[in-house]
Amino acid sequence: MARKVFFSFKYDDVPRAMNVRHSNVIAQETTFGFIDKADFEAVERKGDAAIQAWIDDQLFGTSVTVVLVGANTHKSKWVKYEIEQSIARGNGILTVDISKIADLQQETTDCCSLRVKGYNHYLWNKDSGRQNLGKWVEEAAKAAGKA
C-alpha cells in the first residue's frame, strides 16, 4: 500500500537524508518533508509561523512520520515540533539513525540520543534500511491503527 510518509530531519543532515530519500524504497510522490535550500530559506525568512504552516501543510494526509536522526537532531526545535504534530495527528512514528551514512565528504558522525518513547528505532546501515524501510513504515502504520 502506498502511504504518505513525512520525513523529519535536521537541515544539517540533508546529504544523509537525501541518501535515504533516493534509496527508492518509498515512491517520491508519497514522501513529504523534503525541501530544497532556496525554498527553505524563503520560508525561513518569513518567520516561525511560516515554518510551522509549511510543516503542518507537509504533514497533512500523512500516516507515518520517519524521523531521521543524526548527530544534532535533538537540538532542532523544528524536529521536535514535527514529532509533536505527528503524535497529535496519530501518525505512526519511527526513528532511524542516519549518522553512519557518509556525507558529501565521506565522513560519518555519532548519533545523538533522540528517540521517541514508545516507537521503534532502527539503524540505517546495521539494520539494512534500504531493504527494510518500507517494512518499518508499514509496521509503524499498523501500530498506529492506520492499517
User: What's the pLDDT at 90?
Assistant: 97
Give Cβ neighbours of residue 66 (< 8 Å, ≥ 6 apart).
Answer: 5, 6, 7, 8, 20, 93, 94, 95, 96, 133, 136, 137, 140
| Residue 97 backbone dihedrals phi, psi, to 5 degrees | -75, 115
Residue 68 pairs in a beta bridge with 96
Helix (H) or strand (E) run with residue 147 in it: none
Question: What distance in Å separates the CA atoms of residue 47 and residue 59, rounded to the nearest whole number?
Answer: 19
User: What's the pLDDT at 30?
Assistant: 58
pLDDT in tens, 83-131: 999 999 999 999 999 999 998 899 999 999 999 999 999 999 999 999 9
**Where exactly are the structural domains of the chain?**
5-143
pLDDT in tens, 9-35: 998 898 898 888 877 666 555 565 666
CATH fold, domain 5-143, is Rossmann fold (3.40.50)
